[in-house]
Amino acid sequence: MLASFFVVNGFKSARKPDQFVADAEPIAQKVVPLVQKVAPPTVTNYIPEDTRSLVRYTGIAQVIGGLGLATGIGRRGCSALLAVTMIPHVLASRTPAGATAEQRTASRSVALRNVALLGAVLIASRDTEGHPSLGWRAQREQERLSRAASEQRRHLKKQKKHARKAIGKQTTSLGASARRSVGHVADSLESALS
């Protein structure tokens, strides 16, 4: 349902951009020079300077993004593309200076719609359709490995404790055995000397 708005409006903008040029002109005059300053030189060559072409390309981007969102093909990327195309719409929906109360109400309604659509596509661009994100999976794997390491550490401590007990018993039995052997040797030497 969300995608239908972008497909229909994008198709209108791509097919008949002239009806949107007057509304887009003030935004295009501010945004295009800013983008040309920020973007790398290889990208700036592809940014059209005439508003009619910008409106048409934005419409094409909205159709592509809307179709991707509707079909689920590249849904997150297409949603992000739609969010980018909504930014000029949000900026253009500001109330003009000196507007009447009726114009302010209409402008506020359009602005709220545009902000809501921008929010909706931003949410759609972050949605993982019930599948955990890579960050979530990495954190769970880290926790699992940490638990396994702690369990291994406890197991090794038990083995060390048992090994010490066994060594202590062996030392004690070896000590008693050695004392007996020394005693037998001493007895043998005594009898040999007498």
- Check whether 103 has a pLDDT greater than 70: yes
Residue 95 included in any domain:
yes
Mean pLDDT value of segment 87-104: 82
Residue 192 lies in a domain: no
- The number of folded domains in the chain is 1
Q: What is the mean pLDDT of residues 78-106?
A: 85
* Residue 171 domain flag: no
Query: Residue 42 pLDDT more than 80?
Result: yes
Range of the domain at 38: 2-126
Check whether 178 has a pLDDT greater than 90: no
Handedness of CA 60, 65, 70, 72 (dihedral sign): positive
- In this structure, is residue 94 part of a structural domain? yes
What's the pLDDT at 44? Answer: 80
pLDDT at 135 over 90: no
Query: Is 180 contained in some domain?
Result: no
Residue 140 within a domain: no
What is the rounded CA–CA span in Å between residue 108 and residue 99?
Answer: 11
pLDDT confidence of residue 194: 62
> Is residue 191 domain-resident?
no
Is 24 part of a structural domain of the chain?
Answer: yes
